[in-house]
Amino acid sequence: MFKKTRFLALLVLIIFLQTSVSHAAYATLRYGDSGEDVKSLQQKLVSLGFNTNGIDGKYGNGTKKAVYNFQRATGLYKDGIAGNATLTKLYGANNNSKPPVAEGTVDYQNVSITPGSQASNNLPTVVTLPSETLEYGSVNSSVKDMQLALNSLGFNTNGADGKFGRGTEKAVKAFQNKNKLKVDGKAGRQTLNLLYKLCGIKISSAPTAPNTNVNNTTPDTNTAITSYTPVGTLRIGSSGNNVKLLQLALKQLGFYSGSINSKYDKNTSNAVLALQKKYNLDADGVAGAMTQRLIQKLIAGENPNTNTNTNVTSPVTLSFAPPTNKQVQLLHWFNDVKGKLKYGNTLNVYEPVSGAGWKLKVVARGSHCDAEPLTATDTQELFRAFGGKETWTPKAVYVQLPDGRWTIAATHNVAHGGQSIKDNNFNGHLCVHFLRDMEETKKNDPNYGVTNQNTIRKAYKKLTGNEYQESK
């Protein structure tokens, strides 16, 4: 009996030691660490689609966030520290694993997110630089080339679909910051030249307008055009077929009388300016997304006031009770709100100045919430809150979360990107921003993000009489 007990004890000890050895296979990596082990960690995370903001062997905030997202996706304890359990799971993962929806992406039905490692397999060998700057809203093959290159370097664009969305903008900013370029999220010639050089991609000598796969035929200047499809932003200095189509459209609408020379010159800019003034758009002479959507509607003979309605509609009876001032809180996006929202949730939104109220469907959660008006009536109320004008300038609103709490937020009413609701008179989605730490926002979203944070803080002061105290 004694021998049997000793044998069992020895067996348990051996199993314990084997387990201990196997569980101690990886040394813990955490924020502030550096070296080859960190670089290997970053390479594996990026290969699975978790963006570390570069592969440099330094365990910074980008790597910590990528580890956290991997832990969340695989059901591990979420602390952003790469311990033995995390590393064991990571190095045992295959490249078919998909990350959770990352910041700035849109989690629409039937939309797949492509990990960066997959895109790198299709890198072009030669590219032609576009004649125009690639920026948010651009849609063409040049954007896809850029996305493939960014993904191959570990700057995750959340897919390579030729559409310059928030994920691509964030990746461009990260690349610019890493390489000490001007950080504006726009891919001009300096950014693209360096990007393709680092990827070993050759650049053809003659820059041309990008192939949009839409406006890629040469139009007859004597034939009326029956449709116009928005492309990337066009401005003075742009040239090519896209500009030619724009000039033809402006001429057909009575705003342009110059020659159809395919060059975005002063005459073209003045024609765009005249169009913008007539339809109450921000008049800057640049043919951006909003201006081109308006042209699209006018050429198609549609009502140009859809999504750009200057007529303020009568209020409707709200389907929910507006909050009292005492009910409204100031909830933090990352700490209090983001984790409570899911795709398809309904948010009640109330704008206290106009008294307008509408419902939104949650479609994505990144550094802010992407959402769509539920119905055409909700879109009507949304525009009533903005005085009937489409604008990116945010307004402070009160948003009711699924758990019943109300919080201050900020939103605009410009439809952009994809959509899942087809009958709401809103051709895309909008952004709802919630409270974030200003230091974090300035680092990760220094332009429009900061604008929204300022709007939220002004609303808090107006509601409470107190300045918002930043966390330390």
> Looking at residue 95, what is its pLDDT?
43
> Looking at residue 207, what is its pLDDT?
42
Q: Token digits for 4?
A: 């049997």
Least confident range from 42-56, 249-263, 374-388, 404-418: namely 42-56
Q: Which residues contact 174 (CB under 8 A, 6 or more apart)?
A: 51, 53, 54, 62, 155
pLDDT in tens, 362-409: 998 888 999 999 998 999 899 899 988 888 899 999 999 999 999 999
Q: Token digits for 109?
A: 């039905």
Mean pLDDT calculated for residue range 221-225: 72
> Looking at residue 7, what is its pLDDT?
58
pLDDT in tens, 135-161: 876 777 788 889 888 988 888 887 777
- Quote the strand ranges of 181-237, DSSP E: 202-203
Q: Token digits for 249?
A: 């459209």
Put simply, whether the predicted model's pTM sits higher than 0.75 gets the answer: no
With beta carbons less than 8 A apart as the criterion, state whether 425 and 325 touch. no
> Looking at residue 416, what is its pLDDT?
76
Q: Token digits for 385?
A: 């809150």
Q: Token digits for 353?
A: 């100045």
> Looking at residue 122, what is its pLDDT?
59
With beta carbons less than 8 A apart as the criterion, state whether 445 and 169 touch. no
pLDDT band at 213 (very low <50, low <70, confident <90, very high): very low
Cα dihedral 420, 424, 425, 428 in deg (nearest 10): -20
Beta bridge partner(s), residue 187: 134
Could you check whether 116-203 and 214-304 share the same CATH topology?
yes
Q: What percent of the chain has pLDDT over 70?
A: 80
Amino acid at 195: L
For the domain spanning 214-304, the CATH number is 1.10.101.10
> Looking at residue 366, what is its pLDDT?
85
Domain 325-464 has CATH 3.30.2000: no
Mean pLDDT calculated for residue range 52-57: 80
What CATH architecture does domain 116-203 belong to? Orthogonal Bundle (1.10)
Length of the chain equals: 472
For 364, the 3-state DSSP assignment is strand
For the domain spanning 19-91, the CATH number is 1.10.101.10
Domain ranges (residues) in the chain:
19-91, 116-203, 214-304, 325-464
- d(Cα 379, Cα 357) in Å, to the nearest integer? 10
Among 407, 404, 411, residue whose Cα is nearest residue 335: 407
With beta carbons less than 8 A apart as the criterion, state whether 30 and 37 touch. no
Mean pLDDT calculated for residue range 257-276: 92
Q: What percent of the chain has pLDDT over 90?
A: 31
